Structure 1
Amino acid sequence: MPFGCVTLGDKKDYNQPSEVTDRYDLGQVIKTEEFCEIFRAKEKTTGKLYTCKKFLKRDGRKVRKAAKNEIIILKMVKHPNILQLVDVYITRKEYFIFLELATGREVFDWILDQGYYSEKDTSNVIRQVLEAVAYLHSLKIVHRNLKLENLVYYNRLKNSKIVISDFHLAKLENGLIKEPCGTPEYLAPEVVGRQRYGRPVDCWAIGVIMYILLSGNPPFYEEADEDDYENHDKNLFRKILAGDYEFDPPYWDDISQAAKELVTRLMEVEQDQRITAEEAISHEWISGNAASDKNIKDGVCAQIEKNFARAKWKKAVRVTTLMKRLRAPEQSETAAA
């Protein structure tokens, strides 16, 4: 399908709003994110359903930058585990991004609905994420916001694939990146410590995802008042900087040593020593037979319902603005803790 608009900066190429409405029926808003509203759109000629993300230019420079960035990145990528760009329209007032529609559930919801859930199921999810991320990294693209909420099943069929969504924070790695962004609980130590960073941040986030899927617990958790973001995140960041997590009993008692070893390599504090996505695909827990088939559903589901039902893990990205007012914890403070 041809894109409604090919270039981003030439005012002569603006689309008319009628070009969007002549081609698509936009339903009601189904979700509001930090920078955009999300609709379910129906193509009039075929009846096919798509996801439409609408960014309003009047909402500011950051919104305009996020929309342009997502368009540029999505035009570069084509992979079975990445939601594909279908169409783009840029009017004088808005950006419309049309994507494939994923009709499956988030990974959490899928786990809760299973009668049987094992390491092999987690390994299958992580393998698909690693393959998509290895592809992105081969193009020098850093996703920068990998998290469970951005992993969904493409459809509701039994053997549905996993797809990665939400590329508005993705960035081409032309030299190391300085700007901190992401979701606090998934941030790598180099981002928290305001170091220059690159593709290894995505591998750290995959380690966090893997840790959660195997235990139902986040690796870094702060008991402070969750509404007091500044103190909550400051303490959380200290733990991340130190790599202060454990394979706590009883949640990890039935988890294989190979799984723990891969988590450890993905969540290596030193980014230059962290395993890459390509290397992780070859790990025995992903490509071999090291993943256990023991049913761990009851323990994982109990912890998921305890830890992730609360709104704190559903909140929009807040770290970009938070980092401006919150000084990153000093390495010396972490060492003394």
Structure 2
Amino acid sequence: MPFGCLTLGEKKDYNNPSEVTDKYDLGQIVKSEEFCEIFRAKDKNTLKMFTCKKFLKKDGRKVRKAAKNEILILKMVKHPNILQLVEVYETRKEYFLFLELATGREVFDWILDQGYYSERDTSNVVRQVLEAVAYLHSLNIVHRNLKLENLVYFNRLKHSKIVISDFHLAKLETGLIKDPCGTPEYLAPEVVGRQRYGMPVDCWALGVIMYILLSGNPPFYDETDDDDYENHDKNLFRKILAGDYEFDSPYWDDISESAKGLVTRMMEVDQDQRLTAQEAINHEWISGNAASNKNIKDNVCAQIEKNFAKAKWKKAVRVTTMMKRLRAPEKGADSGTTGPAVATSPAAGEPAPAPADPQAPSDPSAAPAAAAPEGEPAAVTEPPAEMEAVAYDVTPQAAAEVTAPPEEEASSAEAPVESPAPEEVDLLSRCNGEAPTPLQPAAGAGDEQG
């Protein structure tokens, strides 16, 4: 019954709020996201635990649209590496989505707790995500927000599977997509360059994920001062557009040529030359025996500690500001033009991008400059002007989503940057060989998304 009330074109048959509370015990809010609140819910009959996402209709059209989109997408998919939608209720004031509950750790946490970590472990993680992405692409679904924070272990068993979460930005590809969204450090060049885009953006993001898992470093970073968001974003986007990343020594010295080759093919600047998810699955590093079994844990752990413990990429007010402004020029672009106007050469007097140095703490990102939608390749080496202006008025705040949240949410997202978060201290202690602290239940509105 709960699913039936959402069929398009039918007269609404709203659920009574008591139908939700009669079946489920909703605990306290685990975290607040851009469009919804997340609870842990217990089925009163079976005592089984679920994740509940509650969207309030009064919060506006964008919230209602996000809820409907996530419901539409999740009702289409059934795959072992995707968190499954269990039940949906729509009342006159809310949408309630009940999903499987993943109780395992994020991938970073898993790596840090291992005594032995090799390319084969990375290959196993990447293979599972590739299989889920290939399945989504077979249904013409683009996830658009693949990142390490959205990959979690389903449970705490030794051989737990990886699952992808957070589908509120996923989109059915009925043609090339024009609205930019995603997390900056994982954005494909075609998104940065305001090109129309499609499924290749997911493969690019997976290339970024693979790069980080093998080295502990982001492929793209900028040495600009942490608080200089204006220049940081400009330089980050230039590097993404140019595909300016390297397999730096000593971090990549012990990594196989096969692994480097797959990263390179998944991070092709030209989206038409980029491997598809299925082609990547067929690569020898994923499906063959090319992945090395050498222990790379110490090197990777040290770099994770250096680059990601501060969770710099979660300071996302600049993300939401960027995406909001990035969409604005599209208002005049709906009249037949299919490609955005972008600069094709660096501005006079501006230095060329510096070679990547993963030692600097920074953000992970992706790098191919995509072909123009009408078939003519666009040699994009400079981010569009509207993209350069993004970070002028931002402040260091935590949480990372893509479309601009309501003002009251944005103002409440501030978090001090100076003192390390509890999870940062945990990362440092585990990298130094100390016993891992017990994993606490997720709590806090500023944590990673979904």
TM over 0.5: yes
User: C-alpha deviations, 1:182-220, integer Å up to 9, x for none?
Assistant: 000000000000000000000000000000000000001
Residue 85 of structure 1 pairs with residue 98 of structure 2 = no
User: C-alpha deviations, 1:292-337, integer Å up to 9, x for none?
Assistant: 0000000000110111111323345864541343699733128972
User: C-alpha deviations, 1:145-197, integer Å up to 9, x for none?
Assistant: 00000000000000000000000000011010000000000000000000000
Alignment size in residue pairs: 337
Cα distance, 1:229 vs structure 2? 3.5
Alignment of 1:20-59 (within 5 A): 20-59=20-59
Distance 1:58 1:309, change over 3 A: same
C-alpha contact (below 8 Å) 2:2/2:90 kept by paired residues: no
Instruction: Name the amino acid aligned to 2:151.
Output: L
Instruction: Tell me which residue corresponds to 2:271.
Output: 271
Secondary structure in structure 2 of the residue aligned to 1:78: coil
CA distance, structure 2, for counterparts of residue 184 and residue 14 of structure 1: 38
CA distance, structure 2, for counterparts of residue 196 and residue 275 of structure 1: 18
Q: Which runs of 5+ in 1 are unaligned?
A: none
C-alpha contact (below 8 Å) 2:31/2:37 kept by paired residues: yes
Cα distance, 1:12 vs structure 2? 2.7
C-alpha contact (below 8 Å) 1:238/1:329 kept by paired residues: no
Instruction: Tell me which residue corresponds to 2:379.
Output: none
| TM-score between the two structures when normalised by the length of structure 2 | 0.72
CA distance, structure 2, for counterparts of residue 212 and residue 311 of structure 1: 14
Cα distance, 1:35 vs structure 2? 1.5
Distance 1:268 1:178, change over 3 A: same
CA distance, structure 1, for counterparts of residue 233 and residue 11 of structure 2: 42
C-alpha contact (below 8 Å) 1:54/1:96 kept by paired residues: yes
Instruction: Name the amino acid aligned to 2:101.
Output: L
CA distance, structure 2, for counterparts of residue 249 and residue 9 of structure 1: 59
Cα distance, 1:3 vs structure 2? 3.4
Secondary structure in structure 1 of the residue aligned to 2:291: coil
Instruction: Tell me which residue corresponds to 1:314.
Output: 314
Alignment of 1:1-337 (within 5 A): 3=3, 5-7=5-7, 12-315=12-315, 319=319, 321-325=321-325, 330-333=343-346, 337=352
Distance 1:42 1:241, change over 3 A: same
| TM-score between the two structures when normalised by the length of structure 1 | 0.95
Secondary structure in structure 1 of the residue aligned to 2:129: helix
C-alpha contact (below 8 Å) 2:2/2:15 kept by paired residues: no
Structure showing greater Rg: 2
- Between 1:227-236 and 1:159-168, the stretch displaced more is 227-236
Cα distance, 1:124 vs structure 2? 0.1
CA distance, structure 2, for counterparts of residue 270 and residue 208 of structure 1: 15
Instruction: Tell me which residue corresponds to 2:389.
Output: none
Secondary structure in structure 2 of the residue aligned to 1:262: helix
Cα distance, 1:2 vs structure 2? 6.3
User: C-alpha deviations, 1:46-103, integer Å up to 9, x for none?
Assistant: 1000001111122222211111110000000000000000011111221111100001
Identity %: 85
Instruction: Name the amino acid aligned to 1:36.
Output: C
Instruction: Name the amino acid aligned to 1:249.
Output: S
Q: Which runs of 5+ in 2 are unaligned?
A: 330-340, 353-450
Cα distance, 1:9 vs structure 2? 6.7
CA distance, structure 2, for counterparts of residue 210 and residue 302 of structure 1: 17
Cα distance, 1:235 vs structure 2? 1.6
Secondary structure in structure 2 of the residue aligned to 1:212: helix
Higher relative contact order (CA 8 A, sep 6+): 2
Secondary structure in structure 2 of the residue aligned to 1:82: coil
Q: CA RMSD in A?
A: 2.0
CA distance, structure 2, for counterparts of residue 260 and residue 131 of structure 1: 20
CA distance, structure 1, for counterparts of residue 315 and residue 24 of structure 2: 30
